[in-house]
Chain A
Amino acid sequence: MILDRTAVILCVDDEENALTLRKRVLQKAGYEVLTALSGTEALEILRSRRVDLVLTDHLMPGITGIELARQVKSQHSEIPVVLLSGVNEIPIGADVADAFLSKVEGPDSLCEKVAVVLNRS
């Protein structure tokens, strides 16, 4: 999708430091970033805010990233989801998300992946 405005990314992670830094990286890349510390919080935000992409950590207490992706897809099928994980493995069931990215790939890869997925949808 080609947006005539700044794309809004909802960034989800239970670790606050990581979340803040990731938000800054994405902001630097020119995105508007919303953050949520849990899947539940993310789903709440999605109800009230317009979001162009969800970027979520996989391993979180409560709702996992994959579970969140599944719920996003069932409620807002048009919103792409990028799954991020510290596990280098692509977890089973990750195909519900539009893309998977290992955390070790670094900020450049992250921004690229986000851009690719946004352009695709």
Chain B
Amino acid sequence: MTPHEPVNILMVDDQIGKLLTYETILAPLGENLLRANSGREALESLLKTDVAVVLMDVSMPDIDGFQLADMIREHPRFDTTAIIFISAVHLTDVDRLKGYARGAVDYISVPIIPELLRAKVSVFAELYRKNKQLERLNLELEHRVAERTRELQDSEIQFRSLANSIPQLVWMAHADGSVFWYNQRWYDYTGTTVDQMKGLGWSSLVDQDHVARVAEGIQRSWSTGEPWEDTFPLRGKDGTYRWFLSRALPIRDASGHVARWFGTNTDITERKQAEDALVKSERLAAMGRLAGIIAHEINNPLEAISNAVYLLQDHSSLDEEARLYTQLANKEIARLAHITKQTLSFYRESHRPVTLSLSEILDNVIELQSRRLQLNSITVDKRYRTSGTIQGFPGELKQVFLNIIGNAVQAMPEGGRLRIQLFPSKERRTGRQGVRVSIHDTGMGIPVEHARQIFEPFFTTKETKGTGIGLWISKGIIQKYDGTIRFRSMRLKQGYGTCFSVFIPAVMATQSNESAAEMIAGGRTL
């Protein structure tokens, strides 16, 4: 109801003349004036419309004013309806009026003074209007409260379902830092109960090496109100620790005081492992670069020394003892040469891969090994069914095959057969297409107990001769191509056989159509 909306004024009198008089008096108020000729008519009118003021004569033929007032008052709907009696003043009447303690009741004595009637009706009409406004405001307010409550409930439900659905562990704490709520994931991960987690219960789950720092940091935040962040291992229900990035943010009230803390713990174990691995591999790459540079710098003087000893060993002036020394020196030179060869291009020589052919790389490696192959009387059986054209880094791939072939040659000091196969292949486990290089030797085989360690760093069976990093580096290189390297060693009719197999997937490989027959080079001794 707007402030000046007209209200209904019901005038009750059995005499039409009086009604007309009231109308004339009340017209300037601008309210709606309703007439009723009897108590019955008045009741009908009251039931149909909202009436602000009932103006009625006390003495009426069928239902008199007091009876009508009683009836009106009985109905709760008319609680606020004001009643003005028009009557000659009798003491008895005044007494009866007092009976209507509830609601607004007044009277006007005859003869009517128009200003007085207008004033009284106007007061009650205004009162009614105000009451109605108040009622409406109340109703609105109630609606708003209900709505807000529902919104809060909704947002609480939303918050909880959100907090339970995200992968993070979530918690809330009071301003003093005592935690009063954890999400389900927290309990799922830690396997703890609500009771165990009360207050500072969480600290029992933090890794012992970190708990002091974590507690100190979080305590500082509780007191300063600054956000908190730390990473540390948190114990899971199975007793193993995982790394979490933990954060707490203060939630402030309208006056800026910390009302509560909102905290999350994000599992960063994988990220941390990847980062650690990256740091390690970067360190390794740097080490490799350095090793490559050093190897190169050593190779030059090494050649000179090697030549000098070579010239010295057969020198006519040497006695037996001196000759023995040169032999020892030669052995050590060979060892040095082996070490620098091992460290060759431990790193990628350029940032861009080039198109290369694995068959060329293999030929190259065989060429580099030719002397030893000949010395050990090893037969080479090359079977290439593809050129093995791929995108890659020639240096490191050559290193891989130099390593495997070098090992094979060393495994056959008494001679044997080295078979090198290159063919298009599908990886059985993943179904990926690619190229495979397999290198078979008829050497001494690999004992089962070495099988697990063979790709580990610093594992060697060559005692002083090996650095123990060759296969480990090779595996690392092949993994960079998303490829695999594995081996099999078995007993043959005569002696043993070992086969190293390197698979490089087709993402890197491009098949070529060369005829298989052309590529097969029969067994020949190099």
Contacts and interface: CB of A to CB of B under 8 A. Distances in A.
Q: Do A and B bind each other?
A: yes
Interface stretch (A43-51, A63-71, A103-111): A103-111
A17 interface: yes
A28 B333 CA distance: 20
A107 B300 contact: no
A106 B310 contact: yes
A24 interface: yes
B279 to A, nearest CB: 27
A93 B304 CA distance: 25
B349 A89 contact: yes
B251 to A, nearest CB: 62
Nearest to B300: A86
Contacts of B301: 18
Interface in A52-104: 86-90, 102-104
Nearest to A87: B296
B508 interface: no
Contact of B311 (A17, A24, A88, A90): A24
B203 interface: no
A88 B344 contact: yes
Contacts of A108: 310, 371
Nearest to B339: A104
Contacts of A24: 307, 311
A41 interface: no
A43 B306 CA distance: 28
Contact of B303 (A28, A88, A90, A104): A104
Q: Which of A21, A24, A25 has the most chain B CB atoms closer than 10 A to its own CB?
A: A21
A25 B296 CA distance: 22
B296 A86 contact: yes
B307 A89 contact: no
B345 interface: yes
Nearest to A19: B304
Contacts of B341: 88, 102, 104
Given A21-B311, A90-B364, A15 B300 contact: yes
Nearest to A106: B306
Contacts of B303: 18, 22, 86, 103-104, 106
Interface string B413-455: 0000000000000000000000000000000000000000000
Nearest to A84: B303
Greatest chain B CB density within 10 A among A87, A90, A104, A105 is at A104
A17 B308 CA distance: 10
Contacts of A88: 295-296, 299, 340-341, 344-345
Contact of B345 (A18, A25, A89): A89
Contacts of B371: 105, 108-109, 112
Nearest to B338: A104
Nearest to A89: B395
Nearest to B368: A102
A89 B300 CA distance: 14
Nearest to B308: A21
B contact patch SS? helix
B337 A17 contact: no
Nearest to A107: B310
Contacts of A109: 371
Nearest to B399: A88
Nearest to A22: B307
Contacts of A104: 299, 302-303, 306, 337, 340-341
B395 A18 contact: no
Interface in A12-41: 15, 17-18, 21-22, 24-25, 28
Contacts of A103: 299-300, 302-303
A88 to B, nearest CB: 4
A72 to B, nearest CB: 22
A90 B300 CA distance: 15
Nearest to A85: B299
B344 A18 contact: no
Contact of A107 (B299, B307, B344): B307
Nearest to A104: B337
Interface hub of B300, B337, B364, B368 (most chain A Cβ within 10 A): B300
A76 B297 CA distance: 32
Which 10 A-B pairs have CB atoms at the shortest separation, nearest pair first?
A86-B299, A88-B344, A103-B303, A21-B307, A104-B337, A107-B310, A18-B304, A86-B300, A25-B307, A89-B395
Interface of B: 295-297, 299-304, 306-308, 310-311, 333-334, 337, 340-341, 344-345, 349, 364, 368, 371, 395, 398
30 contacts: A15-B304, A17-B304, A18-B300, A18-B301, A18-B303, A18-B304, A22-B307, A86-B300, A87-B296, A87-B344, A88-B296, A88-B341, A89-B344, A89-B395, A89-B398, A90-B364, A90-B398, A102-B341, A103-B299, A103-B303, A104-B299, A104-B302, A104-B306, A104-B341, A105-B368, A106-B337, A107-B306, A107-B307, A109-B371, A112-B371
Given A18-B304, A86-B300, A88-B296, 18 more contacts: A15-B300, A17-B304, A21-B304, A22-B307, A86-B297, A87-B296, A88-B340, A89-B345, A89-B395, A90-B398, A102-B368, A103-B299, A103-B300, A104-B306, A106-B306, A106-B337, A107-B306, A108-B310
